[in-house]
Amino acid sequence: MDGKSLFITFEGIDGTGKSTQVAILAERLRAFGFACVETREPGGTVVAEKIRELLKSIRAIRWSAEVEILLLTAARRDHVDQIIVPALKSGKIVICDRYLDSTRIYQGLSDSKIRAVIEDIHERIIGISPDLTFILDLSPCLALERIRGRGIDDRYFESYGDKIELLRQGFLDLAREHPERCLVVDASLPAAEIADIVYGEARKRCE
Ligand code: TMP
């Protein structure tokens, strides 16, 4: 089906089920004939996946927000050039697990000067913003329970400590700042229920 191109992102703290919802949404849209590209950040291209590995490997050390922003921007620019823009130009729906809002929150939350740098870099070097963003909202307690349930190393999550609640609130604030594109979804609901809400909203934007 030839559709209107659409750029959808999923955001939220770790453990909210974003990756699951990306996969379900893509599958449901494809079943109705929409061409979809599923992707993620940091990552999505060979170079950006290398940068993802680098960022993940240094998690225990934690570089400065500035260094992380530069690495994330390099990864994002490559991702935008090679995957996101070509897919949108050919009328596809791009569904991305994390994007700029994650940088705004993870790197920029606690420092308004850094947040301004993120906005500036985005405007000058990246340029493209999502049409629709699902913010999956969950209490840090439940999120941590899910991460542990998946057998994933939770040291990084735990290293944020009390900051996780601030990150969560940061995402909710972003949703209030950008009501035209952001929809907050209660991530404590069963996955199938979340998928229905997400699919309904996405379809409205595909018409
Ligand atoms: P995830 O893809 O498994 O959620 O892991 C990505 C991690 O990278 C997650 O902890 C959030 C973090 N991240 C940032 O800190 N800034 C960013 O801009 C992005 C896209 C991710």
* Ligand 1 nearest-atom number relative to CA 18: 4
The stretch 194-207 carries a mean pLDDT of 95
Q: Which residues contact 133 (CB under 8 A, 6 or more apart)?
A: 8, 9, 10, 11, 99, 101, 175, 178, 181, 182, 183
Q: Given ligand 1 and candidates 10, 13, 14, which is best to mutate, with the most ligand atoms within 8 Å of its CB?
A: 14
Q: What's the pLDDT at 149?
A: 80
Of 11-15, 127-131, 155-159, the range with the lowest mean pLDDT is: 155-159
Segment 41-67, tens digit of pLDDT:
999 999 999 999 988 876 556 788 999
Q: How far apart are CA 91 and CA 88, in angstroms?
A: 5
pTM over 0.85: yes
92: Cβ below 6 Å to ligand 1? no
pLDDT at 125 over 70: yes
**Averaged pLDDT of the chain:** 92
Question: Which residue lies with its CA nearest to atom 18 of ligand 1?
Answer: 103
Check pocket membership of 102 for ligand 1, CB cut-off 6 A: yes
Nearest CA to ligand 1 atom 15: 106
Q: Is it the case that residue 155 has pLDDT exceeding 60?
A: no
pLDDT of 29 higher than 80: yes
